[in-house]
Amino acid sequence: MVRVTSLTERRHGSSPSNNSNNVATSRSLTRRHGVVEGGRSGGGLWSRQSLALLGAGILVGYVVLPVLLVEMDIEKAMQGLPKLEKQSVKANPYPIAESSNPYLRADQRTLETTIAKITTEAEKRLLEDRDVLSKQSLPTSTTPYVMKTAYLPDHHRKKILVTGGSGFVGSHLVDKLMMEGHEVIVVDNFFTGQKKNIAHWLHHPNFSLIVHDVTEPIQLEVDQIYHLACPASPPHYQYNPVKTIKTSVMGTLNMLGLAKRVHARILLSSTSEIYGDPEVSPQPESYWGHVNTIGPRACYDEGKRVAETMMYSYQKQNGLDIRVARIFNTFGPRMHPNDGRVVSNFIIEALQNKDMTIYGDGKQTRSFQYVSDLVDGLHALMNNDYTQPVNLGNPSEWTIAEFAEHVQALTKSSSQIIKLPKSTDDPQQRRPDIQTAKRELDWEPKVSVDEGLKKTIEYFAAVLKEAGEIIPTGPGAAKPEA
């Protein structure tokens, strides 16, 4: 009997007789590799060997190989370090990759040499500029001239604190101390002081500025303390009378505590206002004064009187090295244009051809000293052995009406001089007796009122040019304008 073979059987080379054997063999192989029919596995889709190989590949590819590459880079960098150390200072820090073209190599080397030369010259110029800046001030719009600083060896150079150092008088004192070569620390809260007054020293290595209110304690190491911090013009110190008292009392107390701790000499800038509306003229240091303790000016007058009392109490109880300067009316560049004082108001009004205002009949008198004379007096007192109060002022006495006319003439102003009601408790006369300063300090004013006024008028003309317009401050309490 003839058997017909199916197409499938012929294609696979199988026959019915060996089908059973093929199936058996297939099942045997399947069980051997852990795979069952239908593609399901009792141990998963991958064998143990496959998973192990896969894990090893991941470990090598993502962990071992990157670590090796990093180590190779570090090794190359370490090999390059000795070469960097041996390089000349003049070597170009940004070399250009050398071209593979031999005709371009010479040009590249020339370019690298030029860059290295320019870099070296720039570094040299930078060092020279830094050296120059450590020996002088920088000109600014407020201080448009250069001041040279002396070099002092360490055993002669002092660390000097100036409270209120960004104010009118304080900034000029800072100039003198910096030019002498000392290290100067300015502490100021900028209530009436202005940063532009000391901007020309901000770059200097001997100068430091600390924005701080003296009514709060401060810890510093200094040799001398010039305690000038306190609003000095009537409108400003009347604006916040309680704060004015705190500044005079608590501020002085904190500075005395600092001086005691570091054994520093301290100078208090007191005022002629402690004499009040005097019944004696000129006023000597022995005059006890005539002061209204509850008037609008008392916050300043009495605050300074208490400050003086504390100075001498610390001297008697703790042996503190103290100095007290009683400062009379002072004027000059860097006066606050809105401080409401006679000199600044008259000049600002005259330069703008506005009415020049006199409060009262104009017969009250004042004595005006130029700021450089005052600074010389403060410096002389600090570095002298005299410990009693000293008047610092110009005995030249003017009536307010005479002074207004003089400013009007110097400015060639078309302003009209007008008179308004008198201010409360405004002193009727003010003239210092400076015999003590002459005898003990060998000091007296050198700059005439005329010479000082010309410099001050020039300064305020520049301020007006920049500001456009300035509205003078009246006699009442007023917050300082920026």
How many DSSP H helices and E strands does the chain contain? 14, 13
Confidence of residue 475 (pLDDT cuts 50, 70, 90): confident
Mean pLDDT lowest for which of 2-11, 128-137, 280-289, 355-364? 2-11
Confidence of residue 106 (pLDDT cuts 50, 70, 90): low
For residue 59, pLDDT beyond 90: no
Whole-number pLDDT of residue 54: 73
Q: Which residue has the higher pLDDT, 62 or 229?
A: 229
Whole-number pLDDT of residue 394: 97
Whole-number pLDDT of residue 120: 78
Whole-number pLDDT of residue 115: 75
Tell me the pairing of strands 365-367 and 397-399. antiparallel
Whole-number pLDDT of residue 260: 98
Contacts of 381 (CB under 8 A, 6+ apart): 267, 323, 325, 390, 392, 441, 443
Whole-number pLDDT of residue 226: 98
C-alpha–C-alpha distance, residues 388 and 384, integer Å: 11
pLDDT digits (tens, 9 = 90+) for 221-248: 999 999 999 999 999 999 999 999 999 9
| Sole residue written with tokens 């402690």 | 274
Whole-number pLDDT of residue 366: 96
Whole-number pLDDT of residue 32: 43
DSSP string, 347-410: HHHHHTTPPEEEESSS--EEE-EEHHHHHHHHHHHHTSS--S-EEES---EEEHHHHHHHHHHH
For residue 74, pLDDT beyond 70: no
Whole-number pLDDT of residue 64: 60
Whole-number pLDDT of residue 68: 60
pTM for this entry: 0.75
Q: Mean pLDDT score of the chain, rounded to an integer?
A: 84
Average pLDDT value for residue range 405-421? 96
| Sole residue written with tokens 């009495």 | 302
pLDDT digits (tens, 9 = 90+) for 129-172: 777 888 999 999 999 999 999 999 999 999 999 999 999 999 99
Side-chain half-sphere exposure of 90, counting CA atoms within 13 A: 5
Whole-number pLDDT of residue 21: 46
Q: Which sequence spans correspond to the domains of the chain? A: 1-31, 33-133, 154-467
Confidence of residue 473 (pLDDT cuts 50, 70, 90): confident
Tokens of 159: 């660390």
Contacts of 108 (CB under 8 A, 6+ apart): 96, 98, 99
pLDDT digits (tens, 9 = 90+) for 109-119: 777 777 777 77
Percent of the chain with pLDDT over 70: 79
Q: Does domain 154-467 have CATH number 3.40.50.970?
A: no
Whole-number pLDDT of residue 384: 97
Sign for the CA dihedral angle at 46, 48, 50, 52 comes to positive
C-alpha–C-alpha distance, residues 115 and 101, integer Å: 21
pLDDT digits (tens, 9 = 90+) for 177-208: 999 999 999 999 999 999 999 999 999 999 99
Whole-number pLDDT of residue 48: 73
Identify whether the C-beta of residue 379 lies closer than 8 Å to the C-beta of residue 437: no
Residue type, 232: A
Identify whether the C-beta of residue 223 lies closer than 8 Å to the C-beta of residue 265: yes
DSSP string, 113-140: HHHHHHHHHHHHHHHHHHHHHTTB----
For residue 458, pLDDT beyond 90: yes
Average pLDDT value for residue range 307-326? 98
Whole-number pLDDT of residue 472: 84
Mean pLDDT lowest for which of 72-76, 266-270, 291-295, 448-452? 72-76
C-alpha–C-alpha distance, residues 1 and 3, integer Å: 6
pLDDT digits (tens, 9 = 90+) for 253-304: 999 999 999 999 999 999 999 999 999 999 999 999 999 999 999 999 999 9
- Measured torsion, CA atoms of residues 26, 29, 31, 34, in degrees rounded to the nearest 10: -120
Identify whether the C-beta of residue 178 lies closer than 8 Å to the C-beta of residue 206: yes
Whole-number pLDDT of residue 73: 55
Residues known to be catalytic: 300
Listed residue (383, 379, 367, 381) closest to 429, CA to CA: 367
Whole-number pLDDT of residue 63: 61
Whole-number pLDDT of residue 156: 94
For residue 22, pLDDT beyond 50: no
